[in-house]
Amino acid sequence: MEQRNYNQYCATARTLDLVGERWTLLLIRELLTGPKRFGDLQANLRGLGTGLLAARLKHLEREGLARKVTLPPPARTPAYALTEAGAELGPAVLALARWGMTWALGERQEGETFRPGWAVLGLEACFLPEASAGLRVVYEFRVADEVFHADIADGTVRMLHGPAQRPDASVTMGEDALIAIASGRSSLGAAIGAGDATVSGSTEAIRRLGELFRFPEPKSRKPEQAP
């Protein structure tokens, strides 16, 4: 499959030559949260066929953005992970996520796939480092059948798939509640009040949760009408 390029000696154009093809940045998004098996990637990217997925992964390998690895025991299965260069696309992907929550997310459309695990990067994009200065706390999130957690330490956050060993607080909710919060139509407090979410653990940790993660206010891309 021929790789298209812009034929411009420009850093932005060169970057888009590498990651601008359809599905490529979404593969980077998936691998930013850790190594994934081929089947995991296919399950998370519904609509991406086996042949195109294989081609995109070969492209990322060829360009030095991803590499093959073997998962540790007990899995011991082949997987794909980002290289140093691939991992450094993280801030750009998070910036796109923040922009999207402000200007593009809106209402969920019929037929659109949603996986709660995508909130891992969404929460990282909404993390406020200055609010966690001197703080050490772990939050566990259970959304539908997926579990992930946030490990916060003095201005930094590590968002990871899977349960936390010793969470200070846990949040449980369904997909609809998470979508409403992420799209700006609700808040965690409102979801708890409506019975759509439950929390447990440290009262102080729960209180501070809203200070540590702040979803951007959705805005319309349409220009305001002149008076």
Domain locations in the chain?
11-88, 116-212
139 touches 205 (CB < 8 A): yes
Query: pLDDT tens-digit profile of 119-161?
Result: 899 999 999 999 999 999 999 999 999 999 999 999 999 999 9
Domains 11-88 and 116-212 share a fold: no
The CATH architecture assigned to 11-88 reads Orthogonal Bundle (1.10)
Phi (first) and psi of residue 5, to 5 degrees: -145, 165
pLDDT tops 90 at residue 74 = no
In angstroms, the CA 35 to CA 41 distance is 10
pTM attached to this predicted model: 0.89
Query: pLDDT tens-digit profile of 6-65?
Result: 999 999 999 999 999 999 999 999 999 999 999 999 999 999 999 999 999 999 999 999
In angstroms, the CA 98 to CA 127 distance is 10
pLDDT tops 60 at residue 197 = yes
> 116-212: CATH homologous superfamily?
SCP2 sterol-binding domain (3.30.1050.10)
